[in-house]
Amino acid sequence: MRAIGVDETTQDLRIIDLPIPEPGPGEVRIAVAATAVNRADLMQRRGLYPPPPGASPILGLEVSGTVDTVGPDVAGLAVGDEVCALLAGGGYAEYALAPAAQCLPVPIGVSVVDAAALPEVSCTVHSNIVTEAGLRAGETLLVHGGGSGIGTHAIQLGKALGATVAVTVGSEFKAQRCRELGADIVIDYHDEDFAEILRDRADVILDIMGAKYLSRNVQTLAPQGRLVIIGLQGGVTGELNIGALLGKRGRVSATNLRGRPAVGPHSKAEVVAAVREQVWPLVADGAVRAVVSARLPLADAATAHDLLDSPESVGKVLLTP
């Protein structure tokens, strides 16, 4: 099969030939309709985010497509089913293996290609703003990077849950798209300070900046506020004003989807099951949509990476083998 390989010296992406993988116990093989580009792929390409032990070294954390072979001990999936799936790696290829417990049906109203835009964002956003932070109707959710794949999903899920949603963005183009998706408060982080505008008001913050925003995020938290850090684009080491946090009876946590175990407590299987139960109905009724900025052939993976890194991309970039 054709897949995308990374040249370790130049970090160039190129088409390579690999044997079609065989599913093991509990796995299915998916004939890939599309995979989606994640920021993690750009980091893995640069050698900064190695795949977890046992995962495919091929890039790609999610795919959509048709079940092509079912491995031993799989219940509830059959050859020909259209699915999308959360992977630990291996999505940039014509065929990918997925644990059956990490597969979701293609939601009603979403094409099989565009379904590749959903598993990583819905699992990350739901597990953080709902399971981890317990966002409730009437609360205020601040989403940093509202135009990102994660951000565009978080805006929609936050609104569907009855929250007021604030976002930070870096351009008027992204600001406009965030408003169209339902964001109530849009802050351009180049010109405005979110901590001044939202001081003491955010019940939940979904943060992708890490150290750079830590102290301002704490200022922004409302009493009993919950700051969930999922990205470290602004650095890994920051100073936390514990006094300010204590005064607000606030909470800071950090989570990582890829490193979760496949099964058991806090596993990917648990996250996927919660998404199927609570997010998929919202997708089926149109309250939450797949936000896709481009669909490119698999061979154009390098262009897709450049696009994700550019200010023009809002939501997800897909690759179709």
51 in contact with ligand NAP (CB under 6 A): no
168 in contact with ligand NAP (CB under 6 A): yes
Q: What is the CA radius of gyration of the chain?
A: 19
253 in contact with ligand NAP (CB under 6 A): no
Half-sphere exposure of 29 (CA within 13 A, CB side): 16
Ramachandran assignment for 166, one of left (phi > 0), alpha (psi -120 to 50 degrees), beta (any other): beta
d(CA 21, CA 262): 19
| 41 CB-contact burial (10 Å; exposed 0-12 / middle 13-18 / buried 19+) | buried
The neighbouring-strand residues paired with 169 are 188
For ligand NAP, the closer CB: 107 or 231: 231
Which region among 22-30, 107-115, 249-257, 281-289 touches ligand NAP (by CB under 6 A)? 249-257
126 in contact with ligand NAP (CB under 6 A): no
293 in contact with ligand NAP (CB under 6 A): no
For ligand NAP, the closer CB: 23 or 147: 147
Task: Check residue 93 and report its DSSP letter.
Answer: B
For ligand NAP, the closer CB: 23 or 149: 149
For ligand NAP, the closer CB: 49 or 69: 49
For the chain, give the number of residues. Answer: 321
189 in contact with ligand NAP (CB under 6 A): yes
Binder among 87, 209, 218, 301 for ligand NAP (CB under 6 A):
209
Beta carbon of residue 175, minimum distance to ligand NAP (angstroms, whole number): 8
d(CA 183, CA 141): 10
Binder among 30, 35, 39, 183 for ligand NAP (CB under 6 A):
39
The strand ranges marked E within the chain are 2-6, 13-17, 27-37, 62-70, 82-86, 95-99, 103-105, 140-144, 164-169, 185-188, 202-207, 221-229, 251-254, 292-297, 316-320
For ligand NAP, the closer CB: 95 or 194: 194
148 in contact with ligand NAP (CB under 6 A): yes
Beta carbon of residue 321, minimum distance to ligand NAP (angstroms, whole number): 20
130 in contact with ligand NAP (CB under 6 A): no
Q: Give contact residues for ligand NAP (rule: CB under 6 A).
A: 38-40, 120, 124, 144-145, 147-150, 168-171, 174, 189, 208-209, 230-231, 233, 255-257, 308, 311
